[in-house]
Structure 1
């Protein structure tokens, strides 16, 4: 089934489901005019059941809405998402589309609210990170008359279009790399795995692969908040205080890995002789450190470009795997 053929839920359908007239639905949604509490409850229940989102663009503004592409992303402090935006924006602008964005802070409930706000402007497409969304978000996206593009993951079932790579495969590749290098006391330092589902997938496959290779994870240090250089430094310090005999540490991303690397520099820990470090994402700064960071390079800008081109072309529903590249570097 091609997602693009689905029609948006109309005001008339909401009215039919609620057993009232369209004007009554309009009054309830605008909270203006006369209606009973019972009628309001029936209308709101129908809205929730159908995933209806009011159209905020009327008359002559409707054509403007058709040129909008909405990005609902977890963070702007993480360069991963700004790279995707950069790639997509250039392609969209070349074809006369306008990109708008909102930030969820990795909060599924906030993502749901922001998706509702974006859909109210009837965009051509909505782009989101990953496959994991609240049920209400999925219902609205399925009911909307627009394309949906999920980026940075292909481990799951796409709603419509998906462009990225397998995070499970990235976790396995990282573990195999460390095992092949001879490391056997391997630790992990990461950020909130409950909110960052892509990091969680990598971590799960990393641990599974280590166990299968006869070297189960020695210890882990999970920071409850977002990733950052500082949290990576603190996380490694805490892990080494508890488990000083680890010979390698896998970090949830390059931000965290750089913090760990700086901790080693300031405490006389020789990298990789005393401790090996492996990151994830392949950020530019990892090539500028005294020792080039060992990491996995993800094609973030290309993901944005390809995702935008699929929207411009109104392509059939599909999943595109752009893969990743292991950068051996000098830290592992």
Structure 2
């Protein structure tokens, strides 16, 4: 039901009992938080809708419990943002990707009158509670049960990641990883690169989608060298692949940081990019454009990602669970594949 079409609730039997906020929500066809905001004259609910809900409450004899309202207000208008990663030398909390996403989230949340509680996934699961109206999980990680444990906190949950058929009653929002992998695969195929090394962790759902799409789009032989995120792990993984005898003509890394580390390892081994090996990254971080050999990459709009997960959670709190959405990605071609 649209907010401008609030039901008058006629015909609903209260059986002589005092109506609850849940009753009003069912009568009006909106969420309880929308009822609460309307009865508290929140500007987050349009004036016409506030008036309709207030009239409905009056008609059914609903009275706001001030003590309970004050208790709730200590929790209202806040959301928890949990970061999946643990900080390390290779993945610091000052990572530009993370900062861009958090900036987008804060822009949306604070503009709507919400405060953001920032924590990590590990800390959130240890606390077993969240003093907020909903949760945003930035990154689903490789633990298939982590998201379910967060959802067990019984709050609306929006996850930045890649949707799966087994997704439960949470909402997964992400960029189009399959499209990104397809763009890389098609680009490398157009350059005649036929033996590709993929650097990344294929147990990570987002990375698995990229790898699968690269394989299908390139039609090439693709080997996998498992690799954690970061410049250091990228260098180590590239050296390991060379040490075990891999000899190919392209490297597709799961992130720009991995690609930058791999590029350094190739340079140290006397292997030239892109004459000997074409190199691609993923994410579009600023460092990719100023590398020794500027990096071909798939750009994700991280600020928009933060805005989107924030907007989706606020929509859920107002109107129920919204639809999933994929953000588009863009292939940025630079010298690491073309030499130009």
SS state of the match for residue 129, structure 2? helix
Identify the residue that residue 20 of structure 1 maps to in structure 2: none
Once the 2 structures are TM-superposed, how far is the Cα of residue 206 of structure 1 from its aligned partner? 2.5
Contact 1:165–1:323 (Cα < 8 Å) also in 2 = yes
How many residue pairs match? The answer is: 264
Identify the residue that residue 198 of structure 1 maps to in structure 2: 206
Once the 2 structures are TM-superposed, how far is the Cα of residue 135 of structure 1 from its aligned partner? 5.1
Q: 1:256 to 1:137 in 2, by over 3 A?
A: closer
Q: Distance in 1 between matches of 2:179 and 2:126?
A: 30
Once the 2 structures are TM-superposed, how far is the Cα of residue 158 of structure 1 from its aligned partner? 6.8
Q: 1:178 to 1:158 in 2, by over 3 A?
A: farther
Identify the residue that residue 332 of structure 2 maps to in structure 1: 327
Identify the residue that residue 70 of structure 2 maps to in structure 1: 60
Contact 1:160–1:318 (Cα < 8 Å) also in 2 = no
TM-score scaled by structure 1? Answer: 0.69
Q: 1:295 to 1:147 in 2, by over 3 A?
A: same
Identify the residue that residue 116 of structure 1 maps to in structure 2: 128
The answer as to 2:141 corresponding to 1:128 is: no
Runs of 5+ unmatched residues, structure 1: 9-57, 105-109
Identify the residue that residue 36 of structure 2 maps to in structure 1: none
Q: 1:134 to 1:236 in 2, by over 3 A?
A: closer
Runs of 5+ unmatched residues, structure 2: 1-28, 34-67
Q: 1:305 to 1:67 in 2, by over 3 A?
A: same
Structure number with larger C-alpha Rg: 2
Q: Distance in 2 between matches of 1:155 and 1:287?
A: 33
SS state of the match for residue 235, structure 1? helix
Q: Distance in 2 between matches of 1:135 and 1:242?
A: 34
Match of 1:183 among 193, 204, 223: 193
Q: 1:61 to 1:168 in 2, by over 3 A?
A: same
Identify the residue that residue 253 of structure 2 maps to in structure 1: 251
SS state of the match for residue 336, structure 2? coil
Contact 2:160–2:172 (Cα < 8 Å) also in 1 = yes
Within 5 A, what are the aligned runs for 1:80-91?
80-91=97-108
Contact 2:82–2:124 (Cα < 8 Å) also in 1 = no
TM-score scaled by structure 2? Answer: 0.68
Query: RMSD of the alignment, in Å?
Result: 3.1
